[in-house]
Structure 1
Amino acid sequence: MDNKIFITLGSQKFQFNRLLKAIDELCEKGTVDAEDVFAQIGYSDYLPKNFSYKKFLDRDEFSKEMGKADIVITHGGTGAIIGAVKKGKKVIAVPRRAKYGEHVDDHQLQLVGQFKGLQLICECDDAEKIGHALETVKKTTYKEYVSNTQKIISSIDKFIENK
């Protein structure tokens, strides 16, 4: 069975050409079946030659693409990662780096490291290693995401009741 791949690069005004080029090369070599890849490329100005993409997706389109995917490749944004793991997707997170003009600082390195430490995702610290990350994610079982929102609400309720 081929794994459907959805790439989502967020909506902040930063390019992530490095990641798109790496996926494009894998498709060109035939390592990844281009038919199985769809990307929301955001503000990237590199336009993929070998797989389908759209700059931005509306909520329904995003939900549809996420639903079709087995694997989600994303930048190191908290919302993107949590959104995918909540839906039970295998996630490869590639942190944006300031030195490539992909973000203002390297906070995504720490965020991705935290999610990896929780055994929720596959960390890919270098876009050049995305092929290896794809092989890893296919044969790895990750922990299920458990939200602690209800726990927080309960503790606030208890606090208020005791006032």
Structure 2
Amino acid sequence: MGNKIFITLGSQKFQFNRLLKAVDELCEKGTVDAENVFAQIGYSDYVPQKYNYKTFLDRDEFSDEMEKADIVITHGGTGAIIEAVKKGKKVIAVPRRAKYGEHVDDHQLQLIKQFDDLNLICPCRDTNKLEIALDTVQRTKYNSYKSNTLNIISSIEDYLMEI
């Protein structure tokens, strides 16, 4: 696969070793070309063996990696998903799970479902199915992200004019 993949795991103090290991396994199998993968691993303590990574990226580095990517693999955080879909990237979102010590609860399952219902992303609820998600994301046409910010601002302005 020749697509450039950027993995971003956010900046919260939770590891996501499970996802990083799954990508290493796909590189080992040859399903993913390790030369085309870069990860921002955050607080994970698993060190990728097959692909390049950095613990944290500054704003410019992050923007550069996002720009180069065809596919973004991310945790189920709202900010990470929205930033990638705003830039027109194909997104695979993998939820952090409480049972693996990756978060305090399983709210990312619900967030990913919402984005999936809007046909904005490819959900991958199980890292053992990451290979399937990579195939799916390449074959699927997703909706463009449309921000609702202007509508919210307009509603607030209308309300303020009425009082």
TM-score (norm 2): 0.98
Report the counterpart of residue 93 of structure 2 in structure 1: 93
Give, in angstroms, the shift of residue 103 of structure 1. 0.4
Quick check: 1:60 aligned with 2:60?
Answer: yes
Indicate the SS of the match to 1:6. Answer: strand
Give, in angstroms, the shift of residue 44 of structure 1. 0.5
Quick check: 1:84 aligned with 2:97?
Answer: no
After TM superposition, the runs of 4+ consecutive aligned structure 1 residues lying more than 2 A away are none
Identity %: 75
Quick check: 1:113 aligned with 2:113?
Answer: yes
Report the counterpart of residue 157 of structure 1 in structure 2: 157
Give, in angstroms, the shift of residue 11 of structure 1. 0.6
Quick check: 1:23 aligned with 2:23?
Answer: yes
Give, in angstroms, the shift of residue 161 of structure 1. 1.3
Amino acid aligned to 1:109: L
Indicate the SS of the match to 1:92. Answer: strand
Q: Counterparts of 1:95 and 1:28 in 2: how far apart (Å)?
A: 23
Q: Counterparts of 1:161 and 1:14 in 2: how far apart (Å)?
A: 44
Which stretches in structure 2 are left out of the alignment for 5+ residues?
none
Amino acid aligned to 2:7: I
Q: Counterparts of 1:135 and 1:55 in 2: how far apart (Å)?
A: 27
Which stretches in structure 1 are left out of the alignment for 5+ residues?
none
Give, in angstroms, the shift of residue 62 of structure 1. 0.2
Report the counterpart of residue 10 of structure 2 in structure 1: 10
Q: Counterparts of 1:62 and 1:19 in 2: how far apart (Å)?
A: 19
- Residues paired across the two proteins, number: 163
Residue by residue over 1:103-128, the C-alpha shift from the partner in whole angstroms, topping out at 9 and shown as x without a partner, is: 00000000001100010000000011
Q: Counterparts of 1:73 and 1:34 in 2: how far apart (Å)?
A: 14
Give, in angstroms, the shift of residue 6 of structure 1. 0.2
